[in-house]
Amino acid sequence: MKILSIVGARPNFMKIKPIYEEFKQRKIEQVLVHTGQHYDENMNRVFFEDLELPKPDVFLGIGSGTHGVQTGAMMSRIEEVLSEEKPDLTVVVGDVNSTLAGAISSIKMQIPVAHVEAGYRSFDMRMPEEINRILVDRISQFLFAPTEDAVTNLISEGADKKRIFFVGNVMVETLLSHFQKSKKSNILKILSLVPNSYGLMTIHRAENTADKKILIDLFNSLAKIDIKIIVPLHPRTKKVLEEAGYLKNIGKNIEIIEPLGYLDFLWLMSNSKFIMTDSGGIQEEALMLDVPCITLRENTERVVTLKNGANILIGMDPLKLSSAISEISKRKKKYPKPPLWDDKVSKRIADAIIGHPELYFL
């Protein structure tokens, strides 16, 4: 058996790591393709080193662009790789453009697709990721769902139950296997931080950075909070703030830092008092680390984080921010963990792929 796996953004690396290792242990031939959708040479190197991932077999170097331009360029290049490698199965993870491009290219060449993280829904079609999720799930032969809600979503959309596998959250497997290693990080010392004395924020989504006034209003609201806020600044967000001349006037309690590697960021998250984010995966990691999370979005596909009390939604409303911080800081710091969020997710995925050859037929 030969499996081709496609990654393109840093969250993809965390999701593919345990799957890659499980396939390797079972001596399955693998081809790892990096589209270059999100590419910073230094950050990619750090992530691959932290996760001990091998250098990709194929690097496409697509780079940024509009959704249509980027996805089209990926499909063209991925098709070339598929023609040359002729895999038995393509594995795609998450919900980025690389996920969609890999799935469409494969299915058009009659190569079956396995989607890891199937069934997540925000029910907001304004989100490019939501469109990607729905389309990829519709054309995949193996649907690996991370939560019971995701299974319900797939069934309600008419997915064949035989193709749905409730396996748990593979990114959690990566977190669990790297947490002890993250304790060796010097990031708290470097930033002169005391555990549980600071808030952590990440913000990068296009819908949250498109309007500079809304973004600046949020930062101004943060500046009024009597707690240190650490912000590893995404390049997209940094560009908006720089063009507005705002970085020179940012609140004294806000410390802007460069994006971090996986282990440093994991340790920074686990020691924070609370997390503010518009990322999907960080909501889940916060739940696993028992750190309260405030999500800077109107909705989330990570519904289980809301149900388990680890997360609240406030959108980008600065008026809601201080009350949200006050509210969530009072919440209990031990959250129920969802079923199958453990260290055996990749094993369940491999078992399903090997144990169900009948699903390879489109």
DSSP, residue by residue, 83-106: HHH--SEEEEESSSHHHHHHHHHH
Confidence band, pLDDT 50/70/90 cuts, at residue 336 = very high
Is 299:318 a contact under the CB 8 Å cutoff? no
Note the pTM of the prediction, 2 decimals. Answer: 0.95
The verdict on whether 178 is a catalytic residue reads no
Q: Choose, from 38, 178, 204, 234, the residue flagged as catalytic.
A: 204
What CATH number is given to the structural domain containing 65? 3.40.50.2000
Averaged pLDDT for residues 99-107:
98
Residue 42 has pLDDT above 90, yes or no: no
Q: Which residues of 40-51 are buried (b: 16+ CB within 10 A; e: fewer)?
A: eeebbebbbebb
Same domain, 148 and 271: no
Same domain, 41 and 113: yes
Same domain, 240 and 148: no
Task: Tell me the two tokens of residue 216.
Answer: 């600046």
The 8-class DSSP code of residue 78 comes to H
Same domain, 153 and 202: no
Task: Tell me the two tokens of residue 243.
Answer: 């063009």
Residue 38 has pLDDT above 70, yes or no: no
Averaged pLDDT for residues 206-212:
86
Assess if residue 175 is contained within a domain.
Answer: no
Render pLDDT for 144-167 as a digit per residue (tens, 0 to 9).
999 999 999 999 999 999 999 999
Residue 64 has pLDDT above 90, yes or no: no
What residues make up the domain containing 316?
187-329
- The count of structural domains within the chain is 2
Same domain, 349 and 325: no
Same domain, 18 and 163: yes
Render pLDDT for 244-271 as a digit per residue (tens, 0 to 9).
999 988 999 999 999 999 999 999 999 9
Confidence at residue 41, expressed as pLDDT on a 0 to 100 scale:
65
Could you give the angle at the alpha carbon of 140 between the alpha carbons of 138 and 146, nearest 5°? Answer: 90
Confidence at residue 48, expressed as pLDDT on a 0 to 100 scale:
87
Of 35-39, 179-183, 314-318, the range with the lowest mean pLDDT is: 35-39
Rounded to whole angstroms, how far apart are CA atoms 134 and 119? Answer: 8
Of 90-99, 102-111, 127-136, 328-337, the range with the lowest mean pLDDT is: 328-337
